[in-house]
Amino acid sequence: MLKSLQLPQEEEGEEAEALQLLSTIDLVVFKIPMINKPIVAWLESTFTALQEGGFFPAEIPTRFVAVKYEDDGLETTKLLHPHLNDLIFLPLDRLVFLQKMEILLGLPGKIKPSYLFMQEHKMNIELAKLARMEKLSDVGCAIRNPTPLTQGVSVRFKFRLPNEEAFTIALARSYSSVAHPEKEGEFLVYFYFFGIDKDSLKNIKRYCNQKPKFRPLLEEDSSRFDFVAQNLFLTEQEKKMKTVVVLDPNPTASENITGIIESDFDRVLIKAENSYYIFLKDYLRDPSLQASKSDTPSGSGDTFALVTNNDLYAPSVSWIVASDSGNLVVLQSKAKEGDKILGYDAQDMFSTDQDWKKLFEGKDNENLLAESLTILSLSDQNLKKRFALSSESGQSMWTDVDFTPLNQPKGQVLITITPMENPDWKKKDDSTLNSLDLLVIHEDFIPENLENWYDHIQNLALQNRLCTMTDPFKIIVISEATKRSKEVQQKFRHSKVAGLLFKPLDLRSFLLQISVLTQCPFTKHNSENQNYLDVHI
């Protein structure tokens, strides 16, 4: 058909001038059922024939638009191809169709719509492009790209693993771009996965494990990545001691995460905290939270007494409150006449809805208590927090307080006071920061307004010279909401949060992200030691 459109060069006159209208073809609209060969193959052969026959317009190649019924059983993603400019479903919406034709025929110029009304509407959108994935592992992947990407670009990958029918969908953040070893002028852009769900991660791990010779790390000997001060090839940024704060409401969890990082990294200082309020007040020194002289201080344990067995009328004292109002529901540890709790009459203390809060008087105690009850309303995890409780004499007495959410009925919390488990405990961990490179924070501490929250803590860090405007501290969010992973992914995917992981943590992904975000190479999980499978997806 294309050959029949070519005109003999010697023809002249009005007829030849009219036929000259067919010398270029701007747009081809075709109905898919009419094509009797694979669509992609037909597109490529037709595109080539138009090009070789000289039918391309001067400024842009011929455009192609496919038309099909939406429910015809043909998978739309199999039609993705650079030569196919649009896909339109039948039956046609007349105005939408005409508007699309006007835009396509006007390319490469910018068209002002004349068939549809354009109204400004600011919102996040997702743009898609076809890319060749060339590297894959269970921590991330690499694609071939004509240009490098800066660190932190957010993408959403949708791909099929070899021999798999189902799609794997994964969010990711870019972290490195290197010159392609074989394609001159192109780049390999590396990404780590961002909040990948357990099913997708399991599929990728299974695929990687099918390759018997695949090793996730190039070198397993951790000692080869120890810091050596005499190494002349290290940059000043790499030599710098990095500071990581781990913020988890569960002290055991924060201690476990701290231990994982400490055992794997050199030149990293880790501080663990289980209160966001204390993090703002003592670490970031938020001026709005600083206590007055009349408030209970949160400083050194040397100035306070510890709660002992003599301060309680039972080995432990427990009571149940409503998590929303804090009203007393029932005293579990029955008190008899004359029983004392930190000097208070126990029966009087638990005779009304709110009198038990006298134990938690003082700005720090009140804020810590409110924070604990809020977290318990969001999750089912147990909490243990250290309080300087207020005794009847006004003395601050340190102890551990356990908070246990009740399943039946919902919305109630069991509060338990016990003597200090560690009688040698003298003071809290030092909360002084000289710098801050990375914050690992539990999702429950993060409010809904992400942008305001992010700006606030970054400004506090800047005011205290913990980071700079050109190098703000990075944030990794840890979530336990595996049953609503899509909701959590959507919440953070367009934010300035650099990393997102679900518990139980995939340690290799976690440690790679710490290395990348702190620019600390002194771990076997650094980016240079990652191994990837060669793929063509």
Give the model confidence (pLDDT) of 22-50 as tens digits: 689 999 999 999 999 999 999 999 999 99
Contact (CB, 8 A) for 76 and 66: no
Mean pLDDT of the chain: 89
Can you tell me the distance from the alpha carbon of 490 to that of 509, in angstroms, rounded to the nearest whole number?
A: 20
Q: What is the mean predicted confidence (pLDDT) over 212-219? A: 91
In terms of Cα–Cα distance, which of 516, 530, 502 is closest to 437?
Answer: 516
Quick one: pLDDT at residue 129? 80
Q: What is the mean predicted confidence (pLDDT) over 132-144? A: 96
Tokens 């189902």 belong to residue: 166
Can you tell me the distance from the alpha carbon of 63 to that of 85, in angstroms, rounded to the nearest whole number?
A: 6
**Residue 259 clears pLDDT 50, i.e. is over it:** yes
**Residue 377 clears pLDDT 50, i.e. is over it:** yes
**Residue 21 clears pLDDT 60, i.e. is over it:** no
The DSSP line for 263-305 is HH-SSEEEEEES-HHHIIIIIS--GGGPPPTTSPP---GGGSE
**Residue 353 clears pLDDT 50, i.e. is over it:** yes
Instruction: Write down the architecture of domain 234-287+430-507 according to CATH.
Output: 3-Layer(aba) Sandwich (3.40)
**Residue 296 clears pLDDT 60, i.e. is over it:** no
- Cite the residue boundaries of each domain of the chain with CATH code 3.30.450.20: 293-418
Is the pLDDT higher at 500 or at 486? 500
How is residue 180 written in tokens?
């392609």
Tokens 């959507």 belong to residue: 490
Is the pLDDT higher at 290 or at 19? 290
Quick one: pLDDT at residue 77? 77
Quick one: pLDDT at residue 168? 93
Lowest mean pLDDT among 3-12, 119-128, 218-227, 340-349: 3-12
Contact (CB, 8 A) for 298 and 388: yes
The amino acid at residue 374 is: T
Quick one: pLDDT at residue 17? 56
Question: What fold, for 293-418?
Answer: Beta-Lactamase (3.30.450)
Can you tell me the distance from the alpha carbon of 270 to that of 291, in angstroms, rounded to the nearest whole number?
A: 26
* CATH code, residues 24-122: 3.40.50
* Residue 465 region by backbone torsions, left for phi larger than 0, else alpha for psi between -120 and 50, else beta: left
Quick one: pLDDT at residue 298? 43
Enter the DSSP assignment of 391: P
* Residue 183 region by backbone torsions, left for phi larger than 0, else alpha for psi between -120 and 50, else beta: beta
Lowest mean pLDDT among 56-70, 82-96, 155-169, 415-429: 415-429
**Residue 16 clears pLDDT 80, i.e. is over it:** no
Angle between helices 251-264 and 507-518 (to 10 degrees): 70
Return the SS3 of 192.
strand
The pLDDT confidence band at residue 116, using thresholds 50, 70 and 90, is confident
The DSSP line for 460-495 is HHHHTTSS-SSSPPEEEEEE--GGGHHHHHHHHHTS
Q: What is the mean predicted confidence (pLDDT) over 355-372? A: 93
Residue 44 burial (C-beta neighbours within 10 Å; 0-12, 13-18, 19+)? middle
Contact (CB, 8 A) for 135 and 533: yes
**Residue 297 clears pLDDT 50, i.e. is over it:** no
Can you tell me the distance from the alpha carbon of 485 to that of 365, in angstroms, rounded to the nearest whole number?
A: 33
The pLDDT confidence band at residue 371, using thresholds 50, 70 and 90, is very high
How is residue 313 written in tokens?
């009328």
- Cite the residue boundaries of each domain of the chain with CATH code 3.40.50.2300: 234-287+430-507
How is residue 109 written in tokens?
């110029």
Give the C-alpha distances (Å, rounded to integers) separating 366 from 237, 359, 371, 376, 446. Answer: 41, 10, 9, 16, 19
Lowest mean pLDDT among 109-118, 170-179, 444-453: 109-118
How far is C-alpha 530 from the chain's CA centre?
Answer: 21
Is the pLDDT higher at 277 or at 424? 277
Contact (CB, 8 A) for 514 and 526: no
Can you tell me the distance from the alpha carbon of 350 to that of 409, in angstroms, rounded to the nearest whole number?
A: 21
Quick one: pLDDT at residue 124? 73
Quick one: pLDDT at residue 13? 57
Cα Rg of the chain, angstroms = 32
Tokens 């400019």 belong to residue: 85
Residues with Cβ within 8 Å of 481's Cβ and at least 6 positions away in sequence, in order, are 443, 487, 488, 502
Per-residue pLDDT of 162-214, as tens digits, reads: 888 888 999 999 999 999 999 888 999 999 999 999 999 999 999 999 988 89
In terms of Cα–Cα distance, which of 494, 472, 508 is closest to 192?
Answer: 508
